[in-house]
């Protein structure tokens, strides 16, 4: 009975892993890059200087206010993001134009916190777009992408649980790896990557479902609040209380001195830094100022928010980070999933766990095709269409996706800086190159395509630091001299990735030389 149950779990584990494996691999690779989104953003904006921590926030706020007053006095909303940590290393401003304003009236800018001048940077999709791909899937409608990613995440959670059931010697498998043994080696690699990061995989999949719970379970609200959009809005307003919204009075009025608001907020928060200042209807008699704390202060993905009258400076309301036990649990799951609170060592563990998760998925996909290919060769039969399709999809996804991401970085350096819709074309380059990798995998024998695309990936990443040095003044050597470890670290990471793919290509070439496959 136990053996039958284990076999049924093995069947479920195998087929769920196969059907959703390619989507999950995409989610894991782009999601893992999200843990380095700030560093990728900086590399893709080489015009930005090295981030320097400021002794006081007040001068930066005044410089930002002065810039917004000069360039967006009639805007409906302002937003000032202050440099406080690794997640927000630069002073940034954003403004949203009033309704009916001409296109282009809204905007954003990086500012020098001392001089207050705008730092001109290229338009780029950056690391944030790569991060958002892991749940938005970019080109798809939001609802469709949420359901696709949600179902894939649910399938992975089931696959993890069934994988635990299937493996009789789960901890013994952790210490077992037999290279050069074909199918056995792929299984060992799959087991090691799975067991080593099992707590992370369980956390990241469960918390991912928590992220999507309102999309996945919309009818849970109905029995308590009733059907209809108004009832749904009432539920959301109770869970996430609105922050004293206001309408424009149409009467000009000067803003309260922001130092007073800053000092009051910091006094209430025990000297903790302010992360963001949001303004509704600035320069209006009904102006509001939202003072937001640091979301990265801890694993709870929530923070205190204060709302002030923008003219008198009177504090109107406070929304605390802790509101209830159930919401705190949700905020904790979101915080653990995003990892924005993580210090460098913990962030490195996040990245390593994410990469091993991608390895776990990739080895599972390859193991499926290797196992069935061996069975076909044993019986000297002809591979069925499903096997041939899986083999080619494996190449295009497992190796083709990194090639496409490398092309995304190349596009950032090669596209003209003043090109219209430049950020969008960076993303189009990524998916265009990925489509070429699918065509390549379809036209070439799988054993050859693996080697060729791995070699291409090696060239794309190994040459990336050289391209950076030729097109910017932020090459590897100048960055090391200037102690600019973000730019230097990116280039060094690209070299490591390129060398890893070169080793894969070399290993595949040796095996194919023995088999005379290509």
Residue 188 has pLDDT above 80, yes or no: no
DSSP state for residue 273 in the 8-state scheme: P
- pLDDT (0 to 100) of residue 215: 82
Span 151-160, mean pLDDT? 95
Residue 195 has pLDDT above 90, yes or no: no
Span 134-138, mean pLDDT? 94
- pLDDT (0 to 100) of residue 169: 66
Banded pLDDT at 156 (limits 50, 70, 90): very high
Banded pLDDT at 159 (limits 50, 70, 90): very high
Rg over CA atoms, the chain: 26
Report the distance separating Cα 24 and Cα 393, nearest Å: 13
CA angle 194, 199, 201 (to 5 degrees): 60
Span 372-381, mean pLDDT? 76
* Mean pLDDT, all residues of the chain: 90
**pLDDT tens digits, residue range 57-104?**
999 999 999 999 999 999 999 999 999 999 999 999 999 998 777 777
- pLDDT (0 to 100) of residue 182: 60
Residue 267 has pLDDT above 60, yes or no: yes
Of the listed ranges 15-19, 89-93, 276-280, 469-473, the one predicted with least confidence: 15-19
Span 191-201, mean pLDDT? 89
- pLDDT (0 to 100) of residue 217: 81
- pLDDT (0 to 100) of residue 98: 81
- pLDDT (0 to 100) of residue 131: 96
184: helix, strand or coil:
helix
- pLDDT (0 to 100) of residue 511: 76
**pLDDT tens digits, residue range 270-329?**
989 999 999 999 999 999 999 999 999 999 999 999 999 999 999 999 999 988 898 999
Cβ atoms of 127 and 40 closer than 8 Å: yes
Banded pLDDT at 497 (limits 50, 70, 90): very high
Residues with Cβ within 8 Å of 251's Cβ and at least 6 positions away in sequence, in order, are 284, 285
Chain-centre distance for alpha carbon 43: 16
**pLDDT tens digits, residue range 216-265?**
887 778 888 888 778 778 888 888 878 877 788 889 999 999 999 999 99
Angle, to 10 degrees, between the axis of helix 464-471 and the axis of helix 400-414? 10
**pLDDT tens digits, residue range 425-441?**
999 999 999 999 999 99
* Percent share of the chain, pLDDT over 90: 70
- pLDDT (0 to 100) of residue 458: 98
Banded pLDDT at 184 (limits 50, 70, 90): low
Residue 129 has pLDDT above 80, yes or no: yes
Residue 149 has pLDDT above 90, yes or no: yes
- pLDDT (0 to 100) of residue 54: 79
- pLDDT (0 to 100) of residue 7: 77
Question: Would you call 132 exposed, middle or buried from its count of C-beta atoms within 10 A (0-12, 13-18, 19+)?
Answer: middle
Cβ atoms of 401 and 422 closer than 8 Å: no
- pLDDT (0 to 100) of residue 10: 82
- pLDDT (0 to 100) of residue 491: 98
- pLDDT (0 to 100) of residue 130: 96
**pLDDT tens digits, residue range 410-427?**
999 999 999 999 999 999
């Amino acid at each position: 009975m136990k053996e039958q149950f284990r076999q049924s779990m093995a069947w479920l584990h195998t087929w769920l892993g196969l059907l959703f494996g390619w989507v999950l691999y995409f989610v894991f690779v782009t999601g893992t890059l999200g843990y380095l989104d700030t560093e990728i953003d900086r590399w893709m904006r080489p015009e930005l200087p090295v981030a320097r921590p400021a002794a006081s926030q007040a001068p930066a706020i005044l410089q930002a206010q002065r810039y917004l007053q000069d360039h967006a006095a009639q805007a409906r909303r302002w937003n000032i993001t202050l440099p406080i940590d690794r997640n927000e290393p630069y002073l940034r401003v954003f403004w949203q134009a009033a309704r009916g304003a001409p296109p282009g009236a809204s905007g954003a800018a990086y500012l020098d916190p001392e001089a207050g001048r705008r730092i001109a940077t290229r338009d780029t999709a950056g690391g944030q777009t790569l991060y958002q791909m892991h749940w938005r899937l970019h080109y798809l409608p939001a609802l469709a992408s949420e359901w696709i990613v949600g179902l894939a995440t649910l399938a992975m959670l089931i696959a993890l649980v069934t994988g635990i059931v299937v493996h009789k010697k789960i901890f013994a498998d952790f210490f077992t790896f037999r290279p050069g043994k074909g199918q056995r080696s792929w299984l060992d690699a799959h087991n090691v990557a799975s067991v080593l990061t099992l707590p992370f995989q369980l956390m990241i999949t469960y918390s991912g479902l928590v992220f999507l719970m309102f999309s996945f379970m919309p009818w849970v609200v109905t029995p308590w609040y009733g059907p209809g959009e108004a009832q749904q809005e009432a539920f959301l307003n109770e869970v996430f209380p609105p922050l004293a919204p206001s309408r424009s009075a149409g009467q000009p009025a000067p803003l309260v001195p922001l130092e007073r608001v800053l000092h009051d907020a910091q006094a209430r928060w025990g000297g903790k830094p302010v992360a963001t200042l949001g303004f509704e209807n600035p320069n209006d008699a009904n102006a509001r100022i939202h003072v937001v704390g640091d979301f990265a202060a801890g694993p709870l993905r929530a923070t205190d928010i204060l709302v002030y009258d923008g003219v008198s400076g009177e504090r109107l309301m406070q929304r605390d980070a802790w509101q209830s036990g159930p919401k705190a649990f949700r905020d904790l799951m979101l915080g653990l999933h995003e990892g924005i609170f993580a210090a460098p060592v913990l962030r490195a563990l996040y990245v390593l766990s994410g990469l091993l998760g991608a390895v776990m998925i990739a080895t599972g996909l390859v193991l499926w095709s290797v196992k069935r290919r061996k069975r076909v060769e044993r019986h000297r039969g002809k591979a069925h269409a499903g096997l041939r399709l899986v083999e080619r999809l494996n190449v295009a996804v497992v190796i083709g996706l990194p090639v496409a991401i490398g092309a995304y970085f190349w596009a950032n350096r090669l596209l003209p800086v003043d090109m219209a819709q430049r950020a969008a074309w960076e993303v189009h380059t990524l998916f265009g190159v990925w489509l070429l990798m699918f065509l390549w995998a379809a036209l070439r024998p799988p054993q050859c395509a693996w080697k060729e695309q791995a070699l291409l990936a090696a060239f794309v990443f190994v040459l990336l630091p050289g391209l950076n040095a030729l097109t910017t003044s932020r090459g590897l050597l100048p960055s090391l001299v200037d102690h600019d470890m973000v730019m230097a670290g990116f280039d060094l990471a690209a070299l490591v990735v390129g060398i890893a793919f070169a080793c894969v290509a070399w290993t595949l070439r040796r095996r194919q030389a023995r088999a005379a496959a290509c």
